[in-house]
């Protein structure tokens, strides 16, 4: 949002008002996750700081290990723990605790070790026991330093929790991530400001407490009451929230089904169509886990582990990326073979196909295409050394991605740029790149007046969108299969492009677009 643009400001406040329930839900998720992580980090960090104070032999090992883990990028850390703990709340909690340990351990150890030995020797001379020395001398004198580390850890944890949506753990980062994925700057700003305000308010509260400690006014009768409430807030409340969240999660998971999606506007829409149809036509509770970072690479393992029940997938992606098989050009043959393998090897069902094919294409400004006379990928291959190409990270790793494409067409671009999937069009608009890969149903192709180049060698296979569900879920709820089958062949290429256009360009919410679509098809009232 541009602060000098009144229309942008109005859009922002409209977005906040219209999405107030959604943002409130994300705020609660963020609050629970952050406070739980803060409590666990505080307990482990203080205990470890005390431990390395007493045992010098393990001091360097623990400090070295914590420092090393702190240097690993947070996004990578979330991904590394997926095979161990899956996606969602637990994954995010583990990562947040790991990143918060460094300031807590370091400040606890530093504060306790730097207490003037004069005080300790005096206490020993008066016959004080080791526990009395610790609790009456070391701890009170070290507390300001420990509190400073706690303050740093809290703010960092709240900020880092914004990345939890990357692995489906919810929180305010989901609003930011969804805003990026749907080209909605107001939603990005709403999520960002919310995270910043939450961190700022918490920092101010701890700062006030820290100021009281350093000014030695904490021991007054009035401030003892404040200290008690602060301790209750930062120790008991997070513990109760964690217990409640764990019980609620187990209770809900026993009856609900989880519908997931990848982090694109199209996937948000398709995921919402599936979820809304189930909610409206059955009594089955539905949990939405949308916008999972990494897409298929993270969702497919979660399907196998039972963390996710249903999600929209593309036949070409499943065949080439998951199964790593050679291309099949006939879409019906591909679907039949895919269905058999998924059912036999993974106990997953391809319930139906929506009816549209969202295949890859290369796109560039119409003016450039006209000037160069470019209509096919073979055409641009002849002049590719004069262009910069941009694509998302996984396009350079896919079986159907850049390596095979460049070999098939002998592409030799002047420069190749790896960029987030949702920022490619921005890069094209500001001329950071000249050509990008795109999906054929992307609304921004129409908005930006781009030309899509014909795949004249038929390199890209069919990417028909369909619904994948766990067999166990379909057996538990037999009505689901026939209900989801009603979505078969309801969306053609042009319809999907228009649905994407409503979200990405007209800034309608995926929930509203999905509901309007289902009503137009007579599937819900």
CATH number of 182's domain: 1.10.3720.10
Residue 525 lies in a domain: no
Tell me, what's the pLDDT at 78?
Answer: 82
Q: Are residues 196 and 154 in the same domain?
A: yes
Dihedral sign for Cα 520, 271, 313, 362, please: positive
> Within a 10 A sphere around the Cβ of 211, how many other Cβ atoms?
11
Q: Can you say how many angstroms the Cα of residue 145 is from the centroid of all Cα atoms in its chain?
A: 34
88 and 150 co-located in one domain: yes
Query: Do both 213 and 129 map to the same domain?
Result: yes
Q: What pLDDT, on the 0 to 100 scale, is given for residue 5?
A: 56
**CA separation for the pair 292, 168 (Å, rounded):** 5
- What does the alpha-carbon distance between residue 141 and residue 137 come to, in Å, rounded to a whole number? 6
C-alpha gyration radius of the chain: 27
Same-domain status, 242 and 323: no
How far apart (Å, rounded) are the C-alpha atoms in residues 336 and 358? 18
Quote the pLDDT of residue 234: 57
Expressed in angstroms, the distance from the first to the final Cα of the chain is: 36
Q: Look up residue 376 and give its DSSP letter.
A: B
The DSSP call for residue 417 is: E
Backbone angles phi, psi at 217, to 5 degrees: -95, 5
Total structural domains within the chain: 3
- For the domain that residue 427 is a member of, what is the CATH number? 3.40.190.120
161 and 235 in a common domain: yes
Residue 430 CB-density burial (10 A; 0-12 exposed, 13-18 middle, 19+ buried): exposed
Residue-by-residue DSSP string for 168-231: T--STHHHHHHHHHTT-HHHHHHHHHHHHHHHHHHHHHHHHHHHHHHTT-TTSHHHHHHHHHHH
Is the same domain home to 22 and 55? Answer: yes
Reduced to 3 states, what is the DSSP secondary structure of residue 142?
helix
Residue 165 lies in a domain: yes
How many Å apart are CA 357 and CA 88, to the nearest integer? 30
Count Cβ atoms below 10 Å from residue 130 Cβ, excluding itself: 11
In a domain, residue 1? The reply is no
Query: Within a domain: residue 289?
Result: yes
Question: Cα–Cα distances in Å, from 150 out to 31, 63, 131, 234, 297?
Answer: 17, 17, 23, 11, 36
* d(C-alpha 266, C-alpha 182), whole Å: 9
pLDDT of residue 350: 97
Last residue of a domain, one of 453, 474, 507: 453
Q: Which of 225, 253, 281 is the last residue of a domain?
A: 253
Contacts of 196 by beta carbon, 8 Å cutoff, 6+ apart: none
What per-residue confidence (pLDDT) applies to 314?
A: 95
φ, ψ dihedrals at 368, nearest 5°: -65, -40
The secondary structure of residue 454, as a DSSP letter, is B
Residue 400: partners with Cβ closer than 8 Å, 6 or more residues away: 316, 320, 321, 327, 360, 459, 460, 461
Q: Please identify, among 253, 287, 314, the residue that sits at the C-terminal boundary of a domain.
A: 253
Report the DSSP pairing between strands 360-365 and 464-470.
unpaired
Is 207 within a domain? yes
Tens of pLDDT along the chain (525 residues) come to 444 455 667 878 888 888 888 888 888 889 889 988 998 999 999 999 999 998 888 988 998 998 888 888 887 888 788 778 877 888 899 999 999 999 999 999 999 988 888 888 888 888 888 888 888 888 888 888 898 999 999 999 999 998 888 777 888 888 888 887 777 788 889 889 999 998 998 888 888 777 776 665 545 555 555 555 555 555 556 555 555 555 555 445 557 899 999 988 999 999 999 999 999 999 999 999 998 877 888 899 999 989 899 999 999 999 988 998 888 888 999 999 999 999 999 999 999 999 999 988 999 999 999 999 999 999 999 999 999 999 988 888 877 789 999 999 999 999 999 987 778 888 998 999 999 999 888 888 988 999 999 999 989 888 999 999 999 999 999 999 999 999 999 999 989 999 999 998 888 999 999 999 999 999 998
Is 476 inside a domain boundary? yes
Sign of CA dihedral 458, 464, 469, 471: negative
Question: In terms of domains, do 216 and 249 share one?
Answer: yes
Q: 281 with 242, same domain?
A: no
Residue 278's domain comprises 257-359+462-520
The C-alpha atoms of residue 315 and residue 334 are separated, in whole angstroms, by 7
CA distance 145 to 121: 21
Neighbour tally for 129: CB within 10 Å: 11
Alpha-carbon distance values, 80 to 19, 66, 69, 166 (Å): 33, 16, 12, 13
Give bridge partners of residue 436 from the DSSP assignment.
Answer: 363, 390
Q: Residues 425, 475: one domain? A: no
Nearest by Cα to 444 from 262, 268, 184:
184
Check residue 417 and give its pLDDT: 93
CB burial class (10 A; 0-12, 13-18, 19+) of residue 520?
Answer: exposed
CATH number, domain of 472, equals: 3.40.190.10
The sheet with strand 415-418 has its strands ordered as 415-418, 388-391, 435-439, 360-365, 450-453
Distance separating alpha carbons of residues 383 and 372, to the nearest angstrom: 9
127 and 195 both lie in a single domain: yes
Residue 399 CA neighbour count, 13 Å, CB half: 14
SS3 state at 309: coil
Phi, psi of 198 (to 5 degrees): -60, -45
Q: Report the length, in residues, of the chain.
A: 525
* Helices and strands (H and E) in the chain: how many: 26, 10
Rounded to the nearest 5 percent, the helix, strand and coil shares of the chain are 65, 10, 25
Q: Are residues 498 and 440 in the same domain?
A: no
Q: Are 322 and 247 in the same domain?
A: no
Task: Name residue 310's beta-bridge partners.
Answer: 259, 469
Residue 184, CA distances (Å) to 173, 190, 320, 446, 497 in order: 14, 10, 31, 17, 17
Residue 3 lies in a domain: no
Q: What pLDDT is recorded for position 232?
A: 57
Write b or e for each residue in 329-348: b if 16 or more Cβ atoms lie within 10 A of its Cβ, otherwise e. Answer: eebeebbebbbebbeeebeb
């Amino acid at each position: 949002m541009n602060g000098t643009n009144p229309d942008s400001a109005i859009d922002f406040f409209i977005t906040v008002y219209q999405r107030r329930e959604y943002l409130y839900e994300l705020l609660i998720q963020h609050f629970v996750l952050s406070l739980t992580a803060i409590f666990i980090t505080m307990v482990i960090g203080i205990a470890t700081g005390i431990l390395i104070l007493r045992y010098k032999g393990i001091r360097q090992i623990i400090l070295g290990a914590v420092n090393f883990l702190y240097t690993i990028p947070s996004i990578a850390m979330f991904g590394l723990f997926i095979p161990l703990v899956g996606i969602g709340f637990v994954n995010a909690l583990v990562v947040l605790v790991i990143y918060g340990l460094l300031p807590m351990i370091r400040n606890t150890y530093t504060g306790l070790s730097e207490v003037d030995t004069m005080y300790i020797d005096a206490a020993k001379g008066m016959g004080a026991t080791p526990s009395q020395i610790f609790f009456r001398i070391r701890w009170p004198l070290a507390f300001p330093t420990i509190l400073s580390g706690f303050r740093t850890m809290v703010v960092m944890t709240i900020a880092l929790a914004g990345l939890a949506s990357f692995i489906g753990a919810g929180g305010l980062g989901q609003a930011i991530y969804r805003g990026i994925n749907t080209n909605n700057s107001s939603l990005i700003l709403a999520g960002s400001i919310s995270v910043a305000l939450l961190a700022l308010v918490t920092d101010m509260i701890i700062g006030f407490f820290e100021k009281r400690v350093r000014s030695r006014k904490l021991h007054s009768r009035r401030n003892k009451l404040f200290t008690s409430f602060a301790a209750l807030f930062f120790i008991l409340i997070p513990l109760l929230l964690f217990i409640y969240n764990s019980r609620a999660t187990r209770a809900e998971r026993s009856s609900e089904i989880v519908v997931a999606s990848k982090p694109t506007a199209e996937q948000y829409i398709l995921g919402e169509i599936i979820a809304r149809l189930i909610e409206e036509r059955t009594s089955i509770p539905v949990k939405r886990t949308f916008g999972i970072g990494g897409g298929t690479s993270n969702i497919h393992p979660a399907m196998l582990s039972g963390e996710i029940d249903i999600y929209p997938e593309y036949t070409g992606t499943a065949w080439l990326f998951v199964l790593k098989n050679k291309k099949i050009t006939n879409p019906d043959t591909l679907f039949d073979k895919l269905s058999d393998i998924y059912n036999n090897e993974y106990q997953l069902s391809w319930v139906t196909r929506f009816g549209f094919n969202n295949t890859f294409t290369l796109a560039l400004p119409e003016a450039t295409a006209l000037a160069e006379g470019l209509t096919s990928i073979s055409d641009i291959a002849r002049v590719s050394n004069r262009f910069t190409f941009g694509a998302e990270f996984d396009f350079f790793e896919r079986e159907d991605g850049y390596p095979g494409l460049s070999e098939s067409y002998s592409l030799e671009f002047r420069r190749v740029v790896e960029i987030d999937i949702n920022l490619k069009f921005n890069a094209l608009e500001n001329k950071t790149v000249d050509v990008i890969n795109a999906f054929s149903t992307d609304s921004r192709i129409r908005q930006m007046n781009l030309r899509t180049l014909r795949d004249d060698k038929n390199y890209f296979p069919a990417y028909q969108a369909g619904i994948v569900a766990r067999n166990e879920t379909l057996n538990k709820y037999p009505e689901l299969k026939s209900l989801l089958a009603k979505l078969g062949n309801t969306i053609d290429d042009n319809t999907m492009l228009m649905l994407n256009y409503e979200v990405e360009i007209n800034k309608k919410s995926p929930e509203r677009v999905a509901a309007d679509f289902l009503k137009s098809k007579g599937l819900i009232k």
